Structure 1
Amino acid sequence: MTIDKTAIRDAATVIVLRDRYTDPRILMGQRGAKAAFMPNKVVFPGGAVDAGDADIALATRISDFCADRLREDSARDLSHALCVAAIRELWEETGLILGQKGSWSEPPAPDWESFAATGHVPTAEALQFVFRAITPPGRPRRFDARFFLLDADEIATDLDDFSAACEELSHLQWIPLKDVRAFDLPFITEVVLAEIEARVTDRDPPPSVPFFKNYDEASLFMQLYGRIQDR
């Protein structure tokens, strides 16, 4: 079967914010020169949702408030799978764990074996959904990316230990928020950073979420407000 590489894939991105009240810094790394998507750019950790992400159990889930906004303008409820993808990508690309000590009730999927071996289970309550953007047409890869803000205090492991990271991102570092625009950033990253700067000391999730909706027919800027569903 031929895979359409320009099809829009759901994705999750994690913005880890450290020392938000004193000297705010964010965790970023550089993509490789040969990467098909955003080569050489300095980016947040993140990536596409895998088929198995929906089946991974979470010890705690994202707030109903954020889950409701994740469901808005979506053909199906991806709130669980997106949170799992965010935690998995953070682990794979940085070696940092968003989780709590515990045992898995079932043997972990291959993508999660190294995570489980640390003695942790994934948790999502600390994730805040803060931004959504679809890659514009004409790019070699297109993603419907949901951006999650995470306070670094919620990480279970050493914030400066990237030894378990894969090689997808190089030069992993905590960049002072005031200095980040000196780096080679994608346009959408700069837009997201403006949102983060505006609420760096606010620990509550935003009441609405900006959404850059770039389809072939039109490009729109929207706000996702959500509507809490009955459970």
Structure 2
Amino acid sequence: MSEPEPKPFKPEGPARVPGARAVRPKSAATVMIIRRDGPKPRVLMGKRHGGHSFMPDRWVFPGGRIDRADYRAPFATDLRHDVSAVFDAYLKPGKGRALALAAVRETWEEAGLLLARPAPQRPAAGPWREFIEQGALPDLEALDVVARAITPPAVGKRFDTWFLVADAERLMSLDRQADCGELEEIAWVDFDEAQALPLPQVTRMMIKESVERMRDPNRPKPFLRFKDGGMRPSHL
């Protein structure tokens, strides 16, 4: 059977320099934190600064690139075995945990929220210093994998992003620090409200995926890749 035609896709972000080789995507992770304490489930989203070269003024989930420090950061609980198995099927040992830690760290840096458990305060250095000084360590057991998406080759700034999900009940507190880093605004929005925001295309797809996963938690996890000018979705 012949391979289906790729779905058309409009690249977002700065275009690749004509004639240049495709940029290697940087490893990243983002987390959808969902509250269920109201009439409708709500997801945490933040607005990117208008000065960013990549997706300015768009609403996104907190997250970002993996840092070398994420490979050795301490944690209170580890990934569940089923979640770790999804990572390990595609990545070198330890990288899945580092990606999960990156998502937790970025949630603190961008949204001022701790997906963590209380822990004795301890000295630390590097990007994890402020997180650990809060008397907290990451709660990786709270995370599940939703999907993976790789930015198309036509874009000059590319990411290989793992989309994770966690319940807001696993946050140490819903009260966040005032300084939210690079996210200009932070809001809890229901899924209908989220679809009305200016979203990156992949974020819009993940909102829809989250709704479907609430109906069927066992549905396959999407893996979005690009080839021959279009998107060829598969599953993890």
Q: 2:200 aligns with which of 186, 205, 213?
A: 186
1:106-163 per-position Cα deviation (integer Å, ceiling 9, x unaligned): x323211111111111120000111100011122311110011111111002x24341
**Coordinate RMSD, CA, aligned:** 2.3
Taking structure 1 as the reference length, the TM-score comes to 0.85
Indicate which of 26, 31, 35 corresponds to 1:9.
26
Specify the alignment match of 1:36 in structure 2. Answer: 53
Q: Are the equivalent residues in 1 in contact too, given 2:120–2:135 (CA < 8 A)?
A: yes
Is 1:31–1:39's contact at 8 Å kept on the other side of the alignment? yes
> Structure 1 unaligned runs (5+)?
225-231
Q: Equivalent residue of 2:214, what SS?
A: coil
* Correspondence for 2:220 among 185, 194, 208: 208
- Equivalent residue of 2:156, what SS? coil
Contact 1:10 1:145 survives alignment (8 Å):
yes
Against the structure 1 CA distance between its residues 76 and 219, is the aligned structure 2 distance closer, same or farther, given a 3 Å change threshold? farther
Rounded Cα–Cα distance in structure 2 between residues aligned with 1:79 and 1:5: 24
Instruction: Give the drift of 1:217.
Output: 8.4
Q: How does the TM-score come out when normalised to structure 2? A: 0.83
Amino acid at match of 1:165: C
Counterparts of 2:209 and 2:39 in 1: how far apart (Å)? 18
Q: How far apart, in 2, do the equivalents of 1:74 and 1:189 lie?
A: 23
Q: Which amino acid aligns with 1:198?
A: E
Identity of aligned residues (%): 34
Q: Contact between 2:195 and 2:207, CA under 8 Å: does it hold in 1?
A: no
CA–CA distance in structure 2, aligned partners of residues 55 and 127 of structure 1: 18
1:62-141, aligned counterparts within 5 Å?
Answer: 62-74=79-91, 77-103=94-120, 107-141=123-157
Within the candidate set 164, 176, 187, 1:161 is matched to 176
Q: Which has the larger radius of gyration?
A: 2
Partner of 1:227: none
Gaps of 5+ in 2: 1-20
| Corresponding position of 1:25 | 42
